[in-house]
Structure 1
Amino acid sequence: MTTFQYTDRPSPFSAAGAAAKIVYAVTPAEIEQGALDARALAWAKSAAFTGEAGAFLLVPGEGGEIGCALFGLGANPSEAPFIGGKLSKLLPAGDWQVQTGALTPEQAALGFGLGSYGFSRYKSDKRKDVRLSIAGGADAADIERQLAGVFLARDLVNTPTNEMGPAELEAAFRALGEHYGATVTAIVGDDLIKENFPLVHTVGRASVSAPRLLEMRWGQKGDPRITLVGKGVCFDTGGLDIKGAANMALMKKDMGGSANVMGLALMIMDAGLKVDLQVIVPAVENSISGNAFRPGDIYKSRKGLTVQIDNTDAEGRLILADALAYADENPPELLVDMATLTGAARVALGAELAPYFTDDEKLSSRLAEAAKAETDPMWRLPLWMGYDKDIRARAADLTNSPSGGMAGAITAALFLKRFVTATERWVHFDIYAWVTADKPHAPVGGEAFAIRALYKVIRDMAAK
């Protein structure tokens, strides 16, 4: 079976057996020691190429044609293992192979592949056809699989809301599930009330695109149950507590949690992992109209807890509450939720680190180990119960927006924790889903956070 692609694009990798020119990826020490092809070394010295990180040099052949290329890894390649992503933009068109002792074949290929991504759906520019040969010993199929998952997440986040509202997100969700033979269902509009998803309905009812609860089931019963829940707010105006223009500009990415769990689901299904997979996405648009929910309203959740609305711009935790309560009714072995939930998480850890919350020490250790092994950074924040008092409301069980403005990422996580009471192993990710400045392996735009590390954790679970 071919790997699912939301956007058709050619593989960044060469076909087997293709003739390829060499890229020597080297450190400054290797240049100084002369550990390089003699002709390339002579050309490097004449051009003052020292192997600094990101430095690039084409080396002519005997007839003046391009013979090979040099690429600098810097003195500490382990600090930037995906720096090879730059090569996808620097190399001339054609087939290339990287020779290096400083990076593993997987790092070289994955870095190049990640860096090759471009979102050109609305542009007439043509992509330069640069391809890399994956070195022997690397699992080419798994590298392609991880790229497909990351690219799916990026594509979904990058697509503007006029073409990625709740209905379009459902279409993408269905296409992914159907590609791998999964069962996909949707509860739409007023049926959410009938099926007891009142908070999902409340947040999304003001939009012309009806709110919905999407569910995907794949795998065999009896295998480890894995449930992924992703926040799918396709656009967030803030509701009646409307955002300012600057804060609203990027709100197409507020469905980044759903995009990330869909990318992770792609990896799991494409690998054929022996798991019983459930994916849940509450998909809404937080809009303004005559029937929009209001500050001061109180609603009963699926779990029965009542929630006082103290800010309509704290809507993500509302739809997640119903989705998590649903997932918790049949407790999985692992429950993961991902959401672009709070600005407080960005204040705490910035745009590059994915904060996660869990009470499970073994799970946290596995996540930390996988993050390091896969160069997919994340950082644990505490579910500090001392702040639980802050999510209580005077007129209801809970408030969706504690006053005081402190520890916002923690109080949001504690709010969600109230809806996960039976599942023993739960982790909540508060992600940004966006790259703010170009990196070698990621352009500005939508991004996958922590899903390669989560894929490793789940793959290890499935193998036991």
Structure 2
Amino acid sequence: MAPFQFIERLVPFRPMSADALSVYAVTPAELEAGLAGSAASSWAKAAGFKADAGNLLLLPGEGGTLAGAIFGLGANPSDQPFICGKLARQLPAGEWRLEIQALAFEKAALGFGLGTYSFDSYRTPKAVEAFLCVPDTIDIAGLERTLSAVFLARDLVNTPTNDMGPDRLDAVFSSIAAHYGATLSKIIGEELLARNFPLIHTVGRASAQAPRLLEMRWGRKGTRKVTLVGKGVCFDTGGLDIKPASSMLLMKKDMGGAANVLALASMIMDAELDLDLRVLVPAVENSISADAFRPGDIYRSRKGLTVQIDNTDAEGRLILADALAFADEDAPDLIIDMATLTGAARVALGPDLPPFFTDDEALAASLALAAIAEDDPLWRLPLFKGYEKDVRARVADLTNAPSGGMAGAITAALFLKRFVGEATCWAHFDIYAWSPAEKPHAAIGGEAQAIRALFRHIATLS
């Protein structure tokens, strides 16, 4: 079954063709050694081409035609494993075959594919004109699956909230469930209170679009239970503790956890992993109205723990608390939650290195190895018990916003940990879901983070 795509795109890969032109991807040392061929190396020398990372030199043929190209990998290709993403935007139209030694072909091809992405929902789409010919020894279906998932996450995050509120996120969630034959259920609006999801209702009740909890189930009963939970705050004003205007500019991406969870779920289902998969997305908008929740309010969570609201802008952990408690009731083998949760994580590790938290040493080790193998960077931060006192409130069980402002990513993770107890393993990912600077394989905008590493780990469970 073809991977689900939020926006249909032309696949940039084609079977190997005898008519495809060669593009020699080389390091400066390889160029000097003549690995691009003697004629091409001579032309490169005459043109002053040094094979610096991302540089392209077209090779002239007879009668004004193209004979091929040379692409620079730089001296240390492993520093930029997806540098070939630039090729997708630089090569002239046509079919190309990649001649490469310094990088694994699969990584180079994935980089090429990722580099074809552009978000064109609100403008004339850019056509894919350069195609990479892939030998039949390569798992093309796997490449396409990964591209489809990454592009889904990017599209969802990039879409502005006027077109990606809780209603629309619900529609996309439902479409993915239908595409893969998953069982779908929804709890919407006042029914959240009747079904004991008070925190999800509390955060989303001020919006014109009703809050909801979305659930899909897929796979085979009796296999490993894997549950994915994604924060779906479609826009975050900060609530009554309103954000300044500059901090609201990117808040369409506050559903990046949901976007990445849906992308990961699509990979799992498309690969037909032998698992019992469950996906939960609490979808809300943190708005301001007469019905908005207030600083100082105290609410009882699904788990029964009471939470004092010390900042209405710390809303993501509230909706995740109810969703995680619900996920935990099924005692799964693994719960993964993903959320654009704290600015503290960005201060600590920046936008491109998502932290994750878990008490399970074997899971942490497996994720670390998967991150290295996939060049999908992750970094483990501690669930430091010394900070547990900071999530306690004076007149409630927990506070949603510890005072002092220190160790914010850790205290947020410790808050979430209080809602998981029956699952065998749990890991929390505090992602940014955004590329603030252009990369060879990614434009500025929404980004998939951690899903390739997570898929590699989860595949070992099936």
TM-score normalised by L of structure 2: 0.99
1:448 corresponds to: 448
Contact conserved, 2:12 with 2:128, CA < 8 A, in 1?
no
CA-to-partner distance for each residue in 1:74-104, whole Å, 9 max, x for gaps?
1111111100000011001111111011111
Structure 1 window deviating more from structure 2 (50-59 vs 271-280): it is: 50-59
2:171 corresponds to: 171
2:282 corresponds to: 282
Contact conserved, 1:105 with 1:135, CA < 8 A, in 2?
no
Report how far residue 387 of structure 1 moved. Answer: 0.3
Q: Tell me the amino acid that sits aligned with residue 278 of structure 2.
A: Q
2:91 corresponds to: 91
2:152 corresponds to: 152
Report how far residue 424 of structure 1 moved. Answer: 2.4
Contact conserved, 1:105 with 1:134, CA < 8 A, in 2?
no
Residue 30 (structure 1) aligned with residue 23 (structure 2): no
CA-to-partner distance for each residue in 1:304-340, whole Å, 9 max, x for gaps?
0000000000000000000000000011111100000
Q: Tell me the amino acid that sits aligned with residue 322 of structure 1.
A: D
Report how far residue 135 of structure 1 moved. Answer: 3.3
Structure 1: distance between partners of 2:141 and 2:315: 39
CA-to-partner distance for each residue in 1:6-28, whole Å, 9 max, x for gaps?
10111111255473111100011
In structure 2, list runs of 5 or more residues that go unmatched: none
Equivalent residues in 2 for 1:261-340, closer than 5 Å: 261-340=261-340
Report how far residue 136 of structure 1 moved. Answer: 4.1
1:53 corresponds to: 53
Q: Tell me the amino acid that sits aligned with residue 293 of structure 1.
A: F
2:260 corresponds to: 260
Corresponding residue SS for 2:84 = helix
2:352 corresponds to: 352
Structure 1: distance between partners of 2:125 and 2:458: 38
1:458 corresponds to: 458
Equivalent residues in 2 for 1:240-251, closer than 5 Å: 240-251=240-251
Structure 1 window deviating more from structure 2 (120-129 vs 51-60): it is: 120-129
Structure 2: distance between partners of 1:138 and 1:126: 27
1:221 corresponds to: 221
Structure 2: distance between partners of 1:138 and 1:80: 21
CA-to-partner distance for each residue in 1:364-419, whole Å, 9 max, x for gaps?
00000000000000000000010000011011100000000000000000000000
Structure 2: distance between partners of 1:404 and 1:55: 48
Q: Count how many residue pairs are aligned between Structure 1 and Structure 2.
A: 462
CA-to-partner distance for each residue in 1:37-70, whole Å, 9 max, x for gaps?
2221111111111111111100011222111011
Corresponding residue SS for 1:426 = strand
Corresponding residue SS for 2:296 = coil
CA-to-partner distance for each residue in 1:108-139, whole Å, 9 max, x for gaps?
11000111111011012532411111234221
Q: Tell me the amino acid that sits aligned with residue 274 of structure 1.
A: D
Corresponding residue SS for 2:199 = helix
1:382 corresponds to: 382
Structure 2: distance between partners of 1:166 and 1:68: 49
1:134 corresponds to: 134
Structure 2: distance between partners of 1:172 and 1:158: 14
Contact conserved, 1:97 with 1:135, CA < 8 A, in 2?
no
Structure 1: distance between partners of 2:14 and 2:28: 28
Residue 342 (structure 1) aligned with residue 342 (structure 2): yes
Contact conserved, 2:16 with 2:97, CA < 8 A, in 1?
no
Residue 73 (structure 1) aligned with residue 73 (structure 2): yes
Contact conserved, 2:153 with 2:259, CA < 8 A, in 1?
yes
Structure 1: distance between partners of 2:84 and 2:393: 51
Contact conserved, 2:299 with 2:306, CA < 8 A, in 1?
yes
Structure 2: distance between partners of 1:335 and 1:125: 38
Contact conserved, 2:82 with 2:108, CA < 8 A, in 1?
yes
2:428 corresponds to: 428
1:212 corresponds to: 212
Q: Tell me the amino acid that sits aligned with residue 226 of structure 1.
A: V
Identity %: 65
TM-score normalised by L of structure 1: 0.98
CA-to-partner distance for each residue in 1:219-238, whole Å, 9 max, x for gaps?
01011110000000000000
Contact conserved, 1:358 with 1:428, CA < 8 A, in 2?
yes
Report how far residue 259 of structure 1 moved. Answer: 0.2
Structure 2: distance between partners of 1:151 and 1:126: 15
Corresponding residue SS for 1:307 = strand
Corresponding residue SS for 2:330 = coil
Structure 2: distance between partners of 1:18 and 1:64: 20
Q: Tell me the amino acid that sits aligned with residue 254 of structure 1.
A: D
2:366 corresponds to: 366
